[in-house]
Structure 1
Amino acid sequence: MNELMEDKYYIFKNEREEGPYTLDELLQTGLDVNTMVLSPRANDWQRASDLPELFNYFEAEGYYFPTEDNLAGFGWRLLAYIADSIIISYPAGFLRPENFTDAYNRAVAGNPSMDDLSVLMQFNIISFLVVVMYHTICEFSPLQGSLGKKLFRLVVVDEDGRRLGFFRALARNAGKFISGLALMIGYLWCLWDDRKQTWHDKWSKSYVLIRNR
């Protein structure tokens, strides 16, 4: 009986219905996340990406679908952020102008000049742009996340489990400025959000996931 049930996968491909297939045979048909599949466990056609039994297949292809079980919480994301801060801090040191330390010390002492404020502002802007590009390139790359995220087995994906395109990754990371500007509320939003998304996740329609959970 189980074998009969397994022989009832059908797909809609090239504008026609094909099948039946066993699950193993189905995996050899070149499935895409948008391939429509009729499963023996369902009464209607579904996208291949919506079938739990195909999650491992698509993960091997570089897709990670957001589910309630694999959404990364604030703690994991904070650990990745700390790791990235350490990683970036060394190369960022080479971007500091020669008079940065003096300008910084005068600012801490409460008597900075306009030139000091200009130096600090320029360094902050350059640092922000470097951080944005670092995260953008990493998320757009096969890593699907920064080195800090890689260390803690986190990936950034879109709503279909795909790797982010360059401009979506850029929008996500540039948007972190607003998430941080609002008293960090944009970052903290994932603490109570049902999908554990920050503000910059929401407007870029992205998710941070824990792999292999």
Structure 2
Amino acid sequence: MINEYYILRDNEKHGPYSHIELMDMEVNATELVLSPLATDWQEAFELPEFDEYFKSIGIYAPTTSNVANFGWRLLAFVIDYVIITIGLGLTVGIFVAIGRLTTSTISMDPLSSTSSTERDLLFRLIFLLILTSYNSTFEATKMQGSIGKFICRLVVVNINGQRLSFGTALSRNLLKILSSFLFFLGYFAMLWSPMKQCWHDQRAKTYVVRKPK
């Protein structure tokens, strides 16, 4: 029968099932399935009849053909950088304005007592904390990526194509600090990685995938 599918679980062959029954069983994207139209086992995400099912539950199994390239990831980063910079600038502007309206001291700027070097370091630290929190939070939601990634149709997934837990997302974004060392060499590592992974992706075992239209 055309619907005689078999699945390999716990090193045992189970079936036959229809592909609808396999979806009801919540087949994993990387589980081995024997299709009635094939002679060898394949991972479930390789079978086109499961495409819509996996997309509907937010699973995008990483392959060499769908991982995002350097250009798309750079564009997403630029969009996020602009969003956070504008947001941070507006926030600081509001606090400075409130400080000037409520203080009667000679110094109108609440940061005027610190040196320019200290202010620069403080802003860099705040920006890094906001960027880490921003990316980690969005990657753990149904969006599976930041606003910039959403605009560019990118999602961050684990090795099984699933959404990241907040812990994994946070680890991934903290590891970006390592990728920033030596003139951002860790980011450029994706140029020679078969699955286009930066150092932080490799260590967190994550992938950035471009969703099909």
**Shared fold, TM over 0.5:** yes
**Structure 1 residues 18, 83: closer, same or farther in 2, change over 3 A?**
same
Count, aligned residues = 198
Residue 132 of structure 1 and its aligned partner are, at CA, apart by 0.4
1:175: which partner in 2? 175
Residue 11 to residue 142, structure 1, CA distance change in 2 (3 Å): same
Note if 1:120 corresponds to 2:116.
no
The CA deviation string for residues 26-52 of structure 1, in whole angstroms up to 9 with x for no partner, is: 4344434465533331445x6544545
Matched position secondary structure for 1:182: helix
2:59–2:163: 8 Å Cα contact kept in structure 1? yes
**Is residue 81 from structure 1 mapped to residue 81 from structure 2 by the alignment?**
no
Matched, 1:152 2:155: no
What percentage of aligned pairs have identical amino acids?
37
Alignment partner, residue 139 of structure 1? 139
Q: Which residue of 2 is the match for residue 193 of structure 1?
A: 193
Verify the 8 A CA contact 2:30 2:160 in the aligned structure 1. Answer: no
In the alignment, the residues of structure 2 paired with residue 34 and residue 179 of structure 1 have an alpha-carbon distance, to the nearest angstrom, of 28
**Structure 1's 100 and 200: CA in aligned 2 closer, same or farther, altered over 3 A?**
farther
Unaligned runs of 5+ in 2: 97-108
Q: Is the 8 A contact 1:100 1:119 kept in 2?
A: no
Aligned to 2:161: 161
Q: How far did residue 18 of structure 1 move?
A: 5.2
| C-alpha spacing 1:117/1:141, structure 2 compared with 1 (3 Å) | same
Matched-pair contact (CA < 8 Å) for 2:111–2:119: no
User: Are residues 1:55 and 2:66 paired?
Assistant: no
**Superimposed CA distance per residue, residues 181-206 of structure 1 (whole angstroms, 9 cap, x where no aligned partner):** 22011111111211101111111110
Query: Residues 47 and 95 of structure 1: is their aligned pair in 2 closer, same or farther, counting only changes over 3 Å?
Result: same
Give structure 1 stretches of 5+ with no counterpart: 104-113
> Which residue is equivalent to 1:64?
60
Query: Tell me, what secondary structure is at the counterpart of 2:115?
Result: helix
Match of 2:106 in 1: none
CA distance in 1, matches of 2:9, 2:201: 33
DSSP-derived class of the 2:208 partner: strand
Quote the RMSD (CA, aligned, Å).
2.8
Q: CA deviation at 1:127?
A: 0.9
Q: Check whether the contact 1:155–1:210 (CA below 8 A) recurs between aligned residues.
A: yes
